[in-house]
Amino acid sequence: MDSGGCGVKAAVAGASGYAGGELLRLLLAHPGIDVGTLTAGSSAGTPLGDHQPHLADLADRIIQDTTPEALAGHDVVFLALPHGQSAALAAQLGPDTLIVDCGADFRLTSAADWTGFYGGPHAGTWPYGLPELPGQREILAAARTIAVPGCYPTSVTLGLFPAFAAGLVEPDVVVVAASGTSGAGRSLKPSLLGSEVMGSVSAYGVGGAHRHTPEMVQNLSAVAGGPVTVSFTPTLAPMARGILATCVAPASPGLTAAGLREAYQEALKGEPFVRLLPEGRWPATAMTLGANTAVLQVALDERAGRVVVVVAIDNLTKGTAGGAIQSANLALGLPEELGLPTTGVSP
């Protein structure tokens, strides 16, 4: 769709949640997209300011029920709904609407993986909203539906795809990643209470149980051209935002540290939102706070014969809402970088 210089009208379903709030924060600063209808479930009928007080320009907007009728008439609809709720709604929206799903409903290509990790019938597979993957920008430019990646898979895929694309590592990956509490959503959970989180780091979804594992396997296997195994251990850190992922894989024979760095520099050359840090500097989540950026560093552990990649992103921005808008820009015929910040907030 070509915007023709006119504002594109966007609706956000799930506007009262963390992902919906981040979408709105970014859309308010987007010069090519106007914010239209806002919807949600239990918070319908209340002002957005009751749920997103930081969004002063939209504070008086009344949240509507999430129905096809409320979302009709928009150029693009962003779905920031719980997993499993997007498919039925998307099926009722017209073919002229670009639909961008921030949930998991359409990410996986394997119906067996969907059933095993999420349960219920598989809704299908949409074009995957990670433009940095080889060939993906062309796919997204022609898309009318987009599946936004999970936040953990965004970090891990951006960190490892250059190594697999260049054949620098063996197909056996170990990932340990720390995430802020916003990654679990806004619903109340005892494990996310301040008294449980403050001053403590805990593991969860251990032993291949986390739902994002098959998505990582899917992405890396596609780039590698063959099966890749991923052992993923997520941890919960006492912070609101951010992911720091440490990704390790056996190095291919003959790989040198110089060759590793050169391959990453070549793969990421010209990428507007992915930055390879100067040698000796390592990623921290604070570097990406509020920005649609991923920062990473690579090292060759010669004694162990392994490649180590450390990646930091903001799970709500590049990991969700920013990635959604980046992909939507491509599908709408807008400049990919439009409305997306690369400057973070510190301290």
Which sequence positions are flagged as catalytic?
151
Q: How far apart are the first and last CA of the chain?
A: 39
Burial of 157 (0-12, 13-18, 19+ CB in 10 A): buried
Q: Is 253 exposed, middle or buried (0-12, 13-18, 19+ CB in 10 A)?
A: exposed
Positive or negative torsion for Cα 18, 21, 26, 27 = positive
Dig out the tokens for 202 from the structure: 């805990």
Q: At 201, list the tokens.
A: 């780091």
Maximum alpha-carbon separation in the chain: 63
On whether the CB atoms of residues 53 and 344 are closer than 8 A, the answer is: no
CA distance 206 to 186: 22
On whether the CB atoms of residues 232 and 172 are closer than 8 A, the answer is no
Q: What amino acid occupies position 174?
A: V
Q: Which residues pair with 333 in a beta bridge?
A: none
